[in-house]
Amino acid sequence: MAEVTIEGDRLVVRVRGMDKVWALRSELEIPLTHVAGAERDEEEARRWYHGMRLPGTNLPGVITAGTFYQHGERAFWDVHHAENAVAIRLHDESYGRLVVGVEDPDATIAAIRAAIGSEGPGIAVPGEG
């Protein structure tokens, strides 16, 4: 499980417990100006294949943690329970998405959206469209 917080002008994802070993990361810091949106991602998290594992761990139905190459981009995963998965869309970062399991997905999504000034999942990404 991960802890997602807003600290000043940054989104901070802290990987907890043994997931640090499985994900090979303990923390990610992303400027809020690089966060495009956040939404639940239970359907994707339930799938058994998350892309090419770059270093990380994938035991379907148990844990997906680490860096994966999927949908033409690098994604960071730390999910045990699909129902707690939140996908955070990024731009101008080495990762295109962060998919993390959190204690309260709805509160996490609301906090991220409030911090970036978005009411819903579809905000414009600078340079697109």
Residue 117 has pLDDT above 70, yes or no: yes
- Give the closest residue to 11 by CA, choosing from 81, 128, 116: 116
What total number of domains does the chain contain?
1
Supply the range of the domain harboring residue 24. Answer: 2-116
Stretch 93-116: mean pLDDT: 95
Residue 59 has pLDDT above 70, yes or no: no
76 is a domain residue:
yes
124 is a domain residue:
no
Residue percentage of the chain with pLDDT more than 90: 55
Residue 112 has pLDDT above 70, yes or no: yes
Distance between CA 31 and CA 98 in Å, rounded? 13
Q: What is the DSSP letter of 71?
A: T
122 is a domain residue:
no
47 is a domain residue:
yes
Answer yes or no: are the C-beta atoms of 56 and 69 closer than 8 Å: no
60 is a domain residue:
yes
Q: How confident is the model at residue 58 (pLDDT cuts 50, 70, 90)?
A: confident
Residue 125: per-residue pLDDT: 35
Higher pLDDT, 111 or 60: 111
Q: How confident is the model at residue 29 (pLDDT cuts 50, 70, 90)?
A: very high
pTM of this structure? 0.83
Higher pLDDT, 99 or 24: 99
Distance between CA 94 and CA 122 in Å, rounded? 21
126 is a domain residue:
no
127 is a domain residue:
no
Torsion of CA 41, 25, 112, 48, to 10 degrees: 0
101 is a domain residue:
yes
